Amino acid sequence: MKIKRVEHVAIAVDDMTKHKRLFEDLFGLSLELEEQIDTTKLAMYPVGGTYLELLETVEPESWLGGWLKDKGESLFHICFEVEDIDEALQELKGKGVKLLNDEPIIGHGGARIAFLDPGSTGNILYELAELPTGNAGHS
């Protein structure tokens, strides 16, 4: 498996507007992508060669809603950009890693993504992402 970079670090938040203001006013970051996928709103902020991703749920009973209820606003996951997500998932399965997504799904910016089961990764949630061809960013 070829990991190209840390693609983003995701932060679960209760109030997207408050945290967007914090990123923009306090840190001077510029929003590059904002979208909603199913019950999750996300905002991507480039920082060097990676991104900070804010995540807010529109459904309190969702998995992200449960996370926020249990842990509060906090770091949520780390995402690695991989060259070939299908190959990466096969390799990880061969190493006995449990996956939350056996097959890639469509995520942020049209990326093909999959999450690894935290039970196989030291209780840390990791995401793998294969970005659309020719899309180094998310705009």
Domains of the chain: 3-130 (3.10.180.10)
| 10 within 8 A of 79, measured Cβ to Cβ | yes
* DSSP H or E stretch at residue 85: helix 85-94
What lies within 8 Å, CB to CB, of 97 at 6+ separation is 116, 117, 120, 121
Q: Please give the pLDDT value at position 133.
A: 83
Report pLDDT for 106. 96
Q: What is the C-alpha to C-alpha distance for residues 129 and 37, in angstroms, rounded to an integer?
A: 15
Q: How many helices (H) and strands (E) does the chain have?
A: 3, 8
What residues form DSSP beta bridges with 56?
Answer: 41
pLDDT in tens, the chain (139 residues): 999 999 999 999 999 999 999 999 999 999 999 999 999 999 999 999 999 999 999 999 999 999 999 999 999 999 999 999 999 999 999 999 999 999 999 999 999 999 999 999 999 999 999 999 866 555 4
Tokens of residue 1, six digits: 């498996």
